[in-house]
């Protein structure tokens, strides 16, 4: 994993939920290396780019994507 990778959250954890982040959401890695097995990830609203949260996420809870899967792009609100 590296900075700016597109990642999907693949596991729910209570602390993620408390910050408004849920399994299936996409974000971007914002750290150059993991700290204690966690990466700093920023999650944003898809069509607005408005940040939801910048949070540390366990590496095993993330899946790297090369691009946003077309079937996962949410419809505009």
pLDDT band at 76 (very low <50, low <70, confident <90, very high): confident
Q: What does the pLDDT read at residue 48?
A: 86
46 in any annotated domain:
yes
Strands (E), the chain: 6-9, 26-29, 38-44, 51-58, 62-65
Q: Which domain holds residue 47?
A: 6-67
CB 59 within 8 A of CB 39: yes
Q: What does the pLDDT read at residue 18?
A: 97
62 in any annotated domain:
yes
19-61 pLDDT per residue, tens: 999 999 999 999 999 999 999 999 998 888 899 999 999 999 9
Above 80 in pLDDT, residue 65?
Answer: yes
Above 80 in pLDDT, residue 77?
Answer: no
Q: How many domains does the chain have?
A: 1
């Amino acid at each position: 994993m590296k900075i700016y990778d597109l990642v999907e959250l693949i596991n729910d954890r209570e602390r993620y939920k408390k910050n408004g982040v849920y399994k299936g959401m996409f974000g971007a890695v914002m750290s150059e290396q993991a700290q204690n097995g966690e990466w700093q990830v920023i999650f944003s609203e898809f069509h607005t780019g408005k940040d939801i949260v910048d949070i540390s996420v366990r590496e095993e809870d993330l899946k790297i994507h090369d691009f946003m899967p077309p079937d996962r792009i949410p419809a505009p609100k």
